[in-house]
Amino acid sequence: MTRRSLRENIFKILFKLEFNSLDEMNEQMDFSIADINNISDEDKDYIIGKTEKIIGLIDDIDKLISEISVGWNIERIGKAELAILRLAVYEIKYDEDIPMNVAVSEAVELSQVYCTDEARSFINGVLTKLND
1-27 residue pLDDT tens: 999 999 999 999 999 999 998 889 989
Domain parsing of the chain, residue ranges: 3-129
pTM for this entry: 0.94
Tell me, what's the pLDDT at 75? 87
Tell me, what's the pLDDT at 91? 97
Tell me, what's the pLDDT at 132? 60
Could you tell me which CATH class the domain 3-129 is placed in?
A: mainly alpha
Exposed e or buried b per residue across 45-55, where buried means at least 16 C-beta atoms within 10 angstroms of its C-beta: ebbbebbeebb
The list of the chain residues with pLDDT below 50 reads: none
Question: CA–CA separation, 50 vs 95, rounded Å?
Answer: 9
Tell me, what's the pLDDT at 126? 92
